[in-house]
A = this chain, B = another copy of it.
Amino acid sequence: MWILGLFLSLTAALKPLKYSSLESYSDFCSEISTFEAEYDHFSTRNTQKIEIRVITDDRFYQAGGPVLFYTGNEGDVQLFCENTGFMRKAGKELNAKLVFMEHRYYGKSIPDDKNLYLSAEQALADYAEYLVHLKSSGVTGPVIAMGGSYGGMLAAYFRIKYPNLVAGAIAGSAPVKFLPGLFDCRGFYRVTTRTFTNTPSEHFCSDNIRKSWETIKLIGAHMVGKRTLSEVFRTCEPITDVEPLLDFLEDVWGTLAMMDYPYPTNFVGDVPGWPVNVACSHLDHDINQEELLEPLRDAASVYYNYTGDLACLDLGDEGGDLGYNNWYFQTCTEFVFPFCSDGKEDMFRVHTYDFPTYSTNCQQTFGTTPREHWAEMFFSVETMKTIGGIIFSNGLLDPWSSGGVLTQEEAGPRNYIFILSKGAHHLDLRADNPADPEEVTLARTEYISIMKNWIAESISKTASSSISDCSKKLLFSSKKVHGA
């Protein structure tokens, strides 16, 4: 069984992401409790509760120390716990309590109500409620939020919506600008293409992939060709229509770019170190159409069958995972994620983005009408600029960096930006690894020093008063203030 596309939501197919489901977890991701939050934080008549899972790790915590809070995203919180080793590195250094809170409607925190209250606003209120609970139980140190991908968006959102609870936030590979009108929708595919081109196989790799779409369509146009495709890709069911295969391959390339870590990982599928290089090594010269299929299959296998254990490729195997469907649902309610491509500056098929079509797809699939400009308004980058206290980090190998905050001008003077030239999707939030590029190691050190500042500021703010530079106190008198 192959596992597809972390945090993906293509225009045409609107496909979201599938995380791995690990079979065993480390000790430090096993201390799980359940928190009862308001089921609907924003209705006055709500009396129901929702149960949200929380992982805590107190191994480094010293009383009065800070709290590092992972704002869980669209998957099982244990998986994020496993794959966010930086929390433990920082926790050790800061004597912090570590908390990973699951996002409602993901993992094992799922009510059976057709996603009625599945939204970032509700999830953030869950997090806030939990932190208030934590404070009331004596954990009063400053809180720093942290997350990767959608979790990184949530960390930034948490900071701007509850700066009273959150002293600072690390938004790892958070595409906070991946919204209609805020960025160039061709970005995702262009960065993917760049990542495939910037390998030892150079332009050959992306050129071959660009060529492959027509090749597959040509071959798949007749019965014999379809049989060939089925055989080459070892599909479980004979291919009757090439579209699912094309969609699948698009997702594979995007996901490989996201997962282009310098060492083997199993976050989203089992992949080797620098998987894009490995994939491209099969496509490193100009290959004729007739000979393209097998190298293409070998390249894609780096993602979906690197271990060689896959009996057959099931192109119909989508939607089995709840996180997958539910993120898809979120892109059909409050997070309109536009993707497009021109097939020239990128190696993909042509995709256009237009809201009416996007909306119709959502209507057909979920019966929802997405709110095109809600996220832009409610979780505004402008607000992040105003409030500050956010680290925006992006890796240039990562297609999602196209929707990230990449310049100091966008971030404003109160936030930090980190651009990791050799970084894939939130590599910086993973545990240290000997294969890490130096820039990533440096960034992690910097993060910790910034966090120390946030913590110190937060403590001094609580302890002392602020400097007043806007004082406009007028006459104050408490006796005989007015005449007849």
- A residues near B, CB below 8 A? 40-45, 47, 114-119, 121-122, 125, 128, 132, 161-165, 194, 198-200, 260, 262, 274, 277, 329, 333-334, 368-369, 373, 377-378, 380, 382-383, 385-387, 396-397, 408-409, 411-422, 437, 439, 442-443, 446, 450, 465-484
Which B residues touch A386, using CB under 8 A?
163-164, 387
Which B residues touch A125, using CB under 8 A?
378
Interface centre among A161, A163, A450, A470, by most chain B C-beta atoms within 10 angstroms, is: A470
Q: Are B262 and A397 neighbours in the complex by a CB distance under 8 Å?
A: no
Known: A44-B334, A45-B368. 5 other contacts (CB 8 A): A44-B116, A164-B382, A419-B475, A420-B475, A421-B477
CB distance from A408 to the nearest CB of B (A): 4
Which of chain B's residues has its CB closest to A391's CB?
Answer: B472
Task: Tell me the bound Cα distance from A30 to B263 in angstroms.
Answer: 68
Q: Are A474 and B442 neighbours in the complex by a CB distance under 8 Å?
A: yes
Q: Are B481 and A397 neighbours in the complex by a CB distance under 8 Å?
A: yes
Q: Are A474 and B413 neighbours in the complex by a CB distance under 8 Å?
A: no
Q: A377-B128, A481-B396 are in contact. Are A472 and B164 (CB under 8 A)?
A: no
The 4 closest A-B pairs by CB, nearest first: A164-B380, A408-B468, A42-B42, A164-B382
Q: Are B419 and A476 neighbours in the complex by a CB distance under 8 Å?
A: yes
Which B residues touch A408, using CB under 8 A?
466, 468, 470-471, 473
Query: 26 A-B pairs, CB-CB below 8 angstroms?
Result: A42-B119, A44-B117, A44-B118, A44-B329, A45-B116, A45-B368, A47-B369, A128-B378, A132-B377, A163-B387, A198-B481, A198-B482, A274-B482, A277-B482, A385-B466, A396-B481, A408-B471, A408-B473, A409-B468, A416-B471, A416-B472, A417-B473, A418-B474, A419-B474, A420-B475, A439-B474
Which B residues touch A443, using CB under 8 A?
474
Which B residues touch A412, using CB under 8 A?
466
CB distance from A125 to the nearest CB of B (A): 8
Which B residues touch A47, using CB under 8 A?
369
Q: Are A471 and B417 neighbours in the complex by a CB distance under 8 Å?
A: yes
Interface centre among A329, A469, A483, by most chain B C-beta atoms within 10 angstroms, is: A483
CB distance from A466 to the nearest CB of B (A): 5
Task: Tell me the bound Cα distance from A90 to B483 in angstroms.
Answer: 28
Which B residues touch A466, using CB under 8 A?
385, 408-409, 412-413
Q: Are B419 and A473 neighbours in the complex by a CB distance under 8 Å?
A: yes
Q: Are B377 and A165 neighbours in the complex by a CB distance under 8 Å?
A: yes
Which B residues touch A262, using CB under 8 A?
482
Which B residues touch A198, using CB under 8 A?
478-482
Which B residues touch A396, using CB under 8 A?
476-478, 481
Which B residues touch A417, using CB under 8 A?
471-473
Q: Are A382 and B163 neighbours in the complex by a CB distance under 8 Å?
A: yes
CB distance from A98 to the nearest CB of B (A): 22
